[in-house]
Structure 1
Amino acid sequence: MSRRLILVALVLAVAAGTWTVLATPSLWRSTEPATAPQSGYYQCAMHPQIVSDKPGTCPICGMRLEHVDEPVPEAPQAMGTPAAGARKIVMYRHPMRPDVTSPKPAKDEMGMDYIPVYEDELAGDTGSVPGHAPFTLTPERQQLIGVTTARVETRALEVDIHAVGRVAYDPMLYQAIVEYREALKSRMATKNSPWPEAQQGSDAIVRSAALRLRQQGLSDEQITALARERGEPTNLLLPDKAVWVYAQVYEYEAPLVATGQPVEISVPSVPGRTYTAKVTAIDPILNPATHTARVRMLVPTPDRSLRPESFVKVTIHVPLGEKLAVPREAVLDTGETQIVFVVKGGGRFEPRAVTLGRAAEGYYEVVSGVATGEEVVTSANFLIDSESRFRSALAAFKKSPRDAQHPR
């Protein structure tokens, strides 16, 4: 009996304790406030334009918003409805396609919420680049997306032209030189001839032979030097302690090549060794089959390590001189236009179309579009480009809101 009384007493005690806890909310409710911290705000790490004053998820990517323990940025884009009288929502836009808008909250094809667009965000011009507009980013947002810049400067640029070549053994050139020298001898023999026709004929033969030499790539100075030399021209086939190397240069690169430019040559059969030379001549006529120009170089080889008909790798160093240049990373190529984003100060970015020249050593030569001393964005270009396109779409909506698209 006493054991039964003890069990009944325990049950009554547990019941009384449970009733006391349920009847007193202060005993089981947390004393900490459930609201967001008084300082700071919440922001999406992938989409910094998404800012909220309370926890939540990003309507674009669905990621949890991260708390930023800093003062709320000026005019943040809140996820919820802003305080009455603070900012007015004029429409909602597609999270992935800024040109698609709706007058009321909606969801896209993937179930993501449309993003509210406030009245103050419609201010601004469309800029000089079609589809892009200037905009402003706070320093915090620039740091968040990793914006870096570089100054537009004049610098010495150099282009390297890479080509495949061979160590030449050129019987055709040898034959052309022999014919030219024979034509010179014939003209000397008819110099005192009483028949003018003989002199005219020998002159024509000399001109024809000289033309063949030009077609083989020899310059006028080299042809004149051949006329002064005596003996067999075997040195053009296999010169003493040197070899001829012929390289094929593409048609669009040929205008950059000039005689006297430095050349580096490497051979797979002689690993670890680099030969140096200079451009001696460029063929004036392109190969009709490959549309390449033949470049000739006389390469010193005292040890005869380069054998005739060997394949070689040729690098021609072409100095472009002092040119206004921007880093390659700064240029965004849309397929039709090349764009850079110029930093104007105060967090403002301006899209600018540029005309580019040659690409060299990680830089682009700039023909027009920017000036010396201006700063351009070199990283986070795609995020900057997306923001610029979005601002342009908003500006276009402000000018012609009836043209905006609405979800069906």
Structure 2
Amino acid sequence: MDVSLNKTVAAGAAMLLAGLGGGWALSQWMAAGDRGGTAPPAHAAAAGTAERRVLYWYDPMVPTQRFDKPGKSPFMDMQLVPRYADEAGAGAGPAVAVSPQAAQSLGLRVATADLRVLQPAVDVVAVVGLDERDVSIVQARAPGFVERVHARAPGDVIAAGAPLAEVLHPDWLAAQREYFAVRATNDETLALAARARLALLGMPVGLIERIEADGRPQALTTIVAPSGGLIAELMVRRGMTVSAGATLARINGLGTVWVEAAVPEALAAAVAPGQRAELRLVAFPGEVLRGRVAAVLPEASRDTRTLRVRVEVPNPGGRLRPGMSGQVRLAGAGAGAEVVTVPAEAVIRTGRRALVHVLDAPGRYRPVAVELGAEIDGRVAVLRGLAAGQQVVASGQFLIDSEASLQGLAASAAPAAAASAAEHATRGRVVELDDASITLEHAPVPALQWPAMTMPFQLAQPDLVRGLKAGDAVRFRFRQQGDEHVVTAIERDDAGARR
């Protein structure tokens, strides 16, 4: 028992001494921290601080504006924050660095910009109507009396040659009797003249041949439909008197139908006669009917701001009836040209410009301003700013864009179509430069009411700064392009350096 008690007392003493030693060490570390030091020795801390080179100072709320010295922000009531050369992306060009682990957790997905033929397609609602070019008008060729009307009514569909009405033409009946009387005299000349008189009175050739074959006059004449289709109008009734030239019926053919589509005027440039069209009707689900644009009517609707587009669609069997509704897709006219395209989801639209984030190297993403074209089937044409084969972020780009803004990374501008913006010239001194941008301490620009200040500029071409270095006095020209200011010409200013 005495031995065990001695061992317990010895262990307790050892633990007490260890605790006292640890407490003294902790108090010394905290005291060093209170004095502004860190755990490493003072000379090591000084060496670490000396190695961190400050590139510029910036306001986190306005990260694109850079300053060459510390101080208070002119935009916010706060001190400027330094940007060190050893921070991610600070010294390796305008790019955001993302580790593979972070990319996986953020769900970053890239897509390749490729060349495609994008033909604009327009999807609009449409209504089936009659082909107004395929119309037959039935008229009375001579005065007469309607003796009988066949069972017809407006809206009926009839075939070519279908009887409409039986009409008594007194003039035709008298001329027929004279013809047979002259023919009985065997005077061939008079018979030919009497037969010609029948034709001059308006009798159809078929009717003349029929009475010649029968050898007797025909009192009633059957009015028939000259073509098949829909009876749009029927103006003949039993017992009525008709005069020469009176319209008896109007018949619309159904071999083809007109599909009238209302196209928004904003899409008018994408529609032209001859375009292919696909028609999908509610009455025939899953079936696609094909036709072509017959005409784009010259007048737009003032109420709906739409153009009326007429599409001709074949109608075998007469299945398509006027009044049916559906949807028309108008395919782009012409063969089209290849353009660089990216997924529409890869583009960030800010209202004044469009951005994509390009994968420059594994884990490094750079914002690029692009000029967009048509968007079709989830792909958008990129007119300027990208080349085929480049990879862009298609998912998670908003997180990268936020980080780029915090780091003050400006999007490299797409090449301008023309130097239409006004250019300004001034002098300055190079503070910092790389292949895409240059920071200049420049003189006032009266045309823009700018005071002398230090600010970054984009470069219209990377080789503009060839031969220049930090500290050089320069003369340069620049223009405003979207949210950026782009240097278009720059040269060393030896006279300014001597001053």
Measured at CA, do residues 345 and 393 of structure 1 come closer, stay the same or move farther in structure 2, by a change above 3 Å? Answer: closer
CA contact (8 A) 1:135 1:350 kept: yes
Measured at CA, do residues 295 and 234 of structure 1 come closer, stay the same or move farther in structure 2, by a change above 3 Å? Answer: farther
| Residue 378 in structure 1 maps to residue 383 in structure 2 | no
Q: Which runs of 5+ in 1 are unaligned?
A: 1-5, 30-80, 105-113, 126-132, 179-230
Amino acid at match of 1:285: E
CA contact (8 A) 2:94 2:409 kept: no
Cα deviation per residue 1:16-46 (whole Å; 9 max; x = unaligned)?
A: 59846744759xx9xxxxxxxxxxxxxxxxx
Measured at CA, do residues 174 and 346 of structure 1 come closer, stay the same or move farther in structure 2, by a change above 3 Å? Answer: closer
Cα deviation per residue 1:88-109 (whole Å; 9 max; x = unaligned)?
A: 68999998886899x89xxxxx
C-alpha distance in 1 between matches for 2:82 and 2:307:
60
Alignment of 1:149-228 (within 5 A): 149-169=110-130
SS of aligned partner of 1:373: coil
Partner of 2:408: 392
My pick for the range that moved more, 82-91 or 254-263, is 82-91
Amino acid at match of 2:84: Y
Partner of 1:325: 341
Partner of 1:291: 305
Q: Which has the larger radius of gyration?
A: 2
Measured at CA, do residues 296 and 234 of structure 1 come closer, stay the same or move farther in structure 2, by a change above 3 Å? Answer: farther
CA contact (8 A) 2:264 2:306 kept: yes
Q: Which runs of 5+ in 2 are unaligned?
A: 23-45, 72-79, 138-225, 233-250, 411-431, 442-452, 456-499
Partner of 2:177: none
User: What is the deviation of 1:375?
Assistant: 3.0
CA contact (8 A) 1:163 1:314 kept: yes
Cα deviation per residue 1:241-282 (whole Å; 9 max; x = unaligned)?
A: 332211111111122112232222222233333322222221
Partner of 1:184: none
Partner of 1:226: none
User: What is the deviation of 1:366?
Assistant: 1.8
Partner of 1:118: 84
| Residue 87 in structure 1 maps to residue 52 in structure 2 | yes
Cα deviation per residue 1:70-123 (whole Å; 9 max; x = unaligned)?
A: xxxxxxxxxxx995545368999998886899x89xxxxxxxxx9985354495
CA contact (8 A) 2:128 2:257 kept: yes
C-alpha distance in 1 between matches for 2:386 and 2:121:
25
Q: Which residue of 285, 292, 296 maps to 1:278?
A: 292
| Residue 316 in structure 1 maps to residue 338 in structure 2 | no
CA contact (8 A) 1:174 1:234 kept: no
Amino acid at match of 2:97: L
| Residue 256 in structure 1 maps to residue 221 in structure 2 | no
Amino acid at match of 2:120: V
SS of aligned partner of 2:253: coil
Amino acid at match of 1:270: F
C-alpha distance in 1 between matches for 2:359 and 2:284:
51
The percent of aligned pairs where both chains have the same amino acid is: 30
C-alpha distance in 1 between matches for 2:384 and 2:273:
30
User: What is the deviation of 1:359?
Assistant: 0.3
C-alpha distance in 1 between matches for 2:265 and 2:357:
33
CA contact (8 A) 1:169 1:309 kept: no
User: What is the deviation of 1:369?
Assistant: 1.8
CA contact (8 A) 2:261 2:328 kept: yes
User: How many pairs align?
Assistant: 278
Measured at CA, do residues 344 and 91 of structure 1 come closer, stay the same or move farther in structure 2, by a change above 3 Å? Answer: closer
| Residue 351 in structure 1 maps to residue 367 in structure 2 | yes
User: What is the deviation of 1:357?
Assistant: 1.0
Greater RCO, CA 8 A, separation 6+: 1
Root mean square deviation, CA, Å: 5.0
SS of aligned partner of 2:299: coil
Amino acid at match of 2:255: K
| Residue 239 in structure 1 maps to residue 253 in structure 2 | yes
CA contact (8 A) 1:134 1:391 kept: no
Cα deviation per residue 1:154-203 (whole Å; 9 max; x = unaligned)?
A: 212233311111111477x789x98xxxxxxxxxxxxxxxxxxxxxxxxx
CA contact (8 A) 1:159 1:361 kept: no
C-alpha distance in 2 between matches for 1:377 and 1:367:
18
| Residue 361 in structure 1 maps to residue 377 in structure 2 | yes
> Under a length normalisation based on structure 1, what TM-score does the superposition of the two structures give?
0.52
Measured at CA, do residues 306 and 137 of structure 1 come closer, stay the same or move farther in structure 2, by a change above 3 Å? Answer: same
> Under a length normalisation based on structure 2, what TM-score does the superposition of the two structures give?
0.44
C-alpha distance in 2 between matches for 1:91 and 1:152:
35
